[in-house]
Copies of this chain bind each other. A is one copy, B any other.
Amino acid sequence: MKTPGHTVIFQPSGARGEIKDGTTILEASRRVGADIEGLCGGKGTCGKCRVKIEEGFFPKYRVNSSVEAAETFGRTNAKFLSRTQRKNNYRMACHTRVRGDIVVFVPEESRQAQQVIRKEATRRRIRLNPAVKRYTVALAAATLQDSLGDLERLQAELGRRFKLKDLTIDYAALLDLQGTVRQGEWKVTASVWKGKEIIDVAPGELPGGYGLAVDIGTTTVAGYLCDLTTGEVVATHAIMNPQVAYGEDVMSRITYAVREKDGLKRLHGAIIKGINEVAGRAAAKAGIRRADIIDMTAVGNTCMHHIFLNIDPNYLGRTPFPPALHHSLDIKARDLGLRIAPGAYLHVLPIEAGFVGADNVGVLIAEEPYKQDEMALIIDIGTNGELILGNRQKLLSTSCATGPAFEGAEIRHGMRAAPGAIEKLWIEPGSREVRFKVIGNDRWNTEVKNIGARGICGSGIFDAAAQMFLAGIIDRSGRFNPRLKSDRLRRTDDGPEFVIARAGETSVGHDIVVCQKDIRAIQLAKGAMYSGAKIMMNRLGIEKIDRVILAGAFGSYIDKESAAVIGLFPDCDPANVIAVGNAAGDGARIALLNVAKRKEADVMARRVEYVELTIAPEFSQTFTRAMIFPHQEDKFPHLKHLLPKER
């Protein structure tokens, strides 16, 4: 007798297959190539494989009869899932068996991550209303009796057919107008910016053209090439910011620009070259010409913004840190040396304050906290930390110097998120054995002998701190437990250290460790973020946050639970902690595709009130308390089941 199969579909990947009755969902996901995370290898101890059973496939609403808890249901599912979550059909994939046709939704945090440059475009619904639209018109040929200029002929026809009045023309578009008109046999397609200016004319009838949204990060530069008529992202290309050669963080770039001869020129030249590369590669991937890119938007922190515009960032680095400009800016892309359509504009989003830049404005218009009642805390973790707190009543923002710890810098064995970096780890509570995964390898260190680890990147460091705390290796104050016995815990002249990867698991030939100094760096960084949030909460007179939005590519790849456990932000229902990916890049894309959002960005950027932390009287005390894991005094009702009982 053949065991009957069930149809299992995984969302959002769409992976599907016939699965034998009684298989666990985690096992099923491996069979069909879906990508559910499982740090503990299915033992029911890591709590990473949370999924949602969307529906019994047929008939509807038969979830309970389509899946069956494995024998450990009571223990495993209860340990990692709240009552509400269980009611809403969340299950641990490793301890739930398939008993009928089901659709399984895999939340983002339960998916396996593979990308090294982690700036994919997020799917968002965007109302289409681009700044540049294309119009095709047929013109009457010139005769001796009617020898009107070609431009006037085009203007008249665009006015007649599309009610476009008082159009000017960009100089670049004018240059070969006559040749273009004749090449198209008097039929041409004009690209018109904001209904005001003809920025491009091409022969014949053309589709709607493309736009490039660029997110200029301190470390990464990402470009999203979009079809302006469908809104679709047709190609993405990301590179390391070539300015990294001149300094890792914002302050070192400012110093370079100010102190070195031609410093600004070099930094500016590097980013322009980089963006031209991004534009060229994205165009090549999509099979279009650079000249088909007829609009461009850009976001970046204030320093990246200024250097990109070739504006001396000198004053950004000196109190009172005034930027050259706040408003959004429309300039010709060619004036910066950007190689897209010669007549195209570049729209640079506005900035909020000295250290809260256009990238944060991008997050703002993507997340729209100003349209909601709930109190949202938006955390953008990049090389600098930027925070927004508020709702439709009021919005505050601040920035905090997190230091480079989250990027893997100033950490003994820290490294960038590159192949060989430990990006995820889990410490078995009893044995204190470490399971980890490195970028560029699909398998776990428990599955292969030499897994080729080279160091730990930011998300791995988050996990390490949280897991070491939960496993009792360090205490709330970050101090190593002096009583703990483990061959992974060593005392050295520089203080204690904990071995994450043994030399045999690495490609560097030595143990990879987390030391006391690393933990202190994490504490400083997370303490800065927490106290930023806390001071803003004081200003608004609120005690509770309804929603935490983790923006930035980094925010998508850190473990939300690890972040909560170490106290990156005040207590919040885990269901309401959402990673939204590169929301800054999304903001650039939204502004590219919907011109109305550009105005909204200008209005909202001005409405956000900037809180200068360093001059807040409570800063020092708040910061000290926030260095404790997860916090010295604050309660974390949503973490009660996880945190050590000693509290």
Contact = CB atoms under 8 A, between A and B. Distances in A.
Interface of A: 142-144, 146-152, 168-169, 171-172, 174-179, 182, 309-312, 314-315, 319-327, 329-332, 335-336, 351, 353-354, 610, 612, 615
A324 B143 contact: no
Contacts of A335: 171-172
Contacts of A177: 311, 324-325
A147 B178 contact: no
B143 A174 contact: no
B147 A325 contact: no
Given A144-B615, A171-B331, A320-B143, A312 B150 contact: no
A182 B354 CA distance: 17
A148 B324 contact: no
Contacts of A171: 309, 329, 331-332, 335-336
Nearest to A354: B147
A415 to B, nearest CB: 36
Contacts of A179: 312, 314
A582 to B, nearest CB: 26
Nearest to A335: B171
A138 B86 CA distance: 65
20 contacts: A144-B321, A144-B612, A144-B615, A147-B353, A147-B610, A149-B322, A149-B323, A149-B324, A149-B351, A151-B325, A168-B330, A169-B325, A169-B329, A172-B335, A174-B324, A174-B325, A175-B309, A177-B311, A178-B312, A178-B324
A5 to B, nearest CB: 64
Contacts of A354: 147
Contacts of A311: 174-175, 177-178
A322 B174 contact: no
A322 B147 contact: yes
A149 B142 CA distance: 51
Contact of A322 (B150, B336, B610, B612): B150
A172 B178 CA distance: 30
A311 B173 CA distance: 11
Contacts of A615: 144
Given A152-B325, A178-B322, A182-B315, 12 more contacts: A143-B320, A144-B319, A148-B326, A151-B327, A169-B329, A171-B309, A171-B331, A174-B309, A175-B309, A178-B314, A179-B312, A179-B314
A572 B322 CA distance: 70
A144 B332 contact: no
A324 B144 contact: no
Contacts of A315: 178, 182
A326 B175 contact: no
Residue of A143, A178, A320, A612 with highest tally of chain B CB at under 10 A: A178
Nearest to A172: B335
Residue of A335, A336, A610, A615 with highest tally of chain B CB at under 10 A: A335
Contacts of A151: 324-327
Contact of A149 (B152, B312, B325): B325
Contacts of A312: 176, 178-179
A299 B225 CA distance: 42
A539 to B, nearest CB: 15
A286 B312 CA distance: 33
Contacts of A169: 325, 329
B310 A175 contact: yes
A364 B607 CA distance: 52
Contacts of A146: 320
A233 B310 CA distance: 36
A607 to B, nearest CB: 14
A320 B142 contact: yes
Contacts of A323: 147, 149-150
A332 B324 CA distance: 22
A380 B170 CA distance: 32
A327 B149 contact: yes
Residue of A147, A310, A311, A331 with highest tally of chain B CB at under 10 A: A147
A176 B312 CA distance: 7
Given A325-B150, A326-B149, A320 B176 contact: no
Contacts of A172: 335
A268 B335 CA distance: 20
A151 B330 CA distance: 14
Contacts of A612: 144
A146 B176 CA distance: 48
Nearest first, the 3 closest Cβ-Cβ pairs linking A and B are: A151-B325, A142-B322, A149-B326
A143 B326 CA distance: 15
Contacts of A143: 320
A150 B312 CA distance: 13
Given A171-B331, A171-B335, A322 B176 contact: no
Contacts of A176: 312
A185 B354 CA distance: 21
A355 to B, nearest CB: 10
Given A174-B311, A175-B310, A310-B175, A320 B147 contact: yes
A178 B302 CA distance: 14
Contacts of A326: 148-149, 151-152
A327 B178 contact: no
